[in-house]
Amino acid sequence: MSATTLLLPALMIAAVWFLAALDGALAGRAAGRPVGPAAAAVEPVRATARLLVGQRRSTLAADGLLRWAGIASLSVAAVLAAAVVPLGERPLVDLSVGVVWFNAMEVVAWAAVWLVGWGPNGALSLVGGYRFVAQGLSYELPHMFAIITAALAAGSLRITDIVDAQAGLWFVVLMPAAFVAYLLSAAAMAFWGPFDAPVARDTAGGAGSELSGVDRLLFAGGRRLLLVAAASMAVPLFLGGGHGPWLPAWAWVLLKTAAVLVVLVWLRHQLPTIRMDRWAEISWVVLVPLTIVQALVVALVVLARGGM
């Protein structure tokens, strides 16, 4: 195992820490108890330590195997999804079908959250698990159309080819609707606000309601790892990857990923949790046609440029 292989999880954990600190700072400000930057930075570390030593809750007639499978697969899938994101010039693994691989790894979250909801044999956690499946069915099609539009414009499913195709013009300019649909689906796949109904307070924490100790740490951490993976994938797909003046490619990737994360955290504190029935209709009636038309426009542009 080389050093770069370990660099990816380490960077992702650092990004999760950044995310949690920023989220805590914004939550404190919204609650009228502003916390300083140092306190906000220490809080995720303290919460992690508390969960590490916390006792694990067990429930009656739980399906421990499935619950464990769900908790474990969430973090693993997030790291595997991020393995095709170029950290600078090259990703950890430069697959010829990188876009599809990313998509395949991120839908592991469907299975993971449903299993975590099912496993403890609790009504509220089961509600959360089912909510996430409904949410997944709503966000997945616009999400797929959005990422395939980027692949269509580059004429390749390889992430590095998609980055190279943006040397002149970032895809966010060519396909703004696809970018917006991608950002929404990135938040939705990590059940991050306003799409946090699967773990919302009206069900006492939903899918994660029966988790404590290390289980809760891995579930909450895996969710944030998935958000980091989705945010970092927005950079090569729409924001020009490592392209940019003065700074080296890796610095641009880090800066852009951090910017996307800041937007996602800020959105969470601006918008209330959206109900599944509302989100399903918005997604199917507005986003699906919008992303299809976006794909059509990009296809016409590609044809006009003499591609294909």
Partner 1 sequence: MVLAVFCVLSLLALSSGVLVFVVDSMARATFCLLVSFLAVAAMVLMTGLAYLGVVIILMMIIEMVIMAVFMVMFMMNPAGLMPMSMFHNTRGAAVISGLVFTGLAAGILVVDWPQRRGAPAPDPTVALGEALMGGHMLTMMTLGVTLFATIVATVVLSTGRGRYDRLGDDLDAERADDPTGGGVGR
Chain contacts with partner 1 (rule: CB under 8 A): 63, 65-66, 69, 95-97, 100-101, 103-104, 107-108, 110-111, 114-115, 118, 121, 130, 133, 136-137, 140, 157, 274-275, 277-282, 285-286
Nearest approach, Cβ of residue 98 and partner 1 (Å): 9
Residue 135 or 166: the one with the smaller Cβ distance to partner 1 is 135
Q: Between 101 and 192, name the residue whose CB sits nearer to partner 1.
A: 101
Give the other-Cβ count within 10 Å of 291's Cβ: 27
Shortest Å distance, C-beta 235 to partner 1: 21
Q: How far is the CB of 42 from partner 1 (least distance, A)?
A: 38
Q: Smallest distance, Å, CB 236 to partner 1?
A: 17
Cα–Cα distance, 286 to 290 (Å, whole number): 6
Burial 147-177 (b: 16+ CB within 10 A, else e): bbbbbbbbebbbbbbbbebbeeebbbebbeb
Which lies closer to partner 1 via its Cβ, residue 66 or residue 292? Answer: 66
CA–CA gap between residue 43 and residue 137 (Å, rounded):
35
CA 147 to CA 156: how far, in whole Å? 11
Residue with Cβ nearer partner 1 (35 or 116): 116
155 Cβ contact partners less than 8 Å away, ≥ 6 residues apart: 161, 165, 302, 307, 308
> Which of residues 35 and 148 has its CB atom nearest to partner 1 in the complex?
148
Closest contact distance (angstroms) between CB of 266 and partner 1 is 22
Asked if residues 238 and 231 have their Cβ atoms less than 8 Å apart, the reply is no
Q: Is 56 exposed, middle or buried (0-12, 13-18, 19+ CB in 10 A)?
A: exposed
Provide the minimum distance between the beta carbon of 204 and partner 1 in the complex, in angstroms, as a whole number. 21
Instruction: CB nearer to partner 1: give 47 or 133.
Output: 133
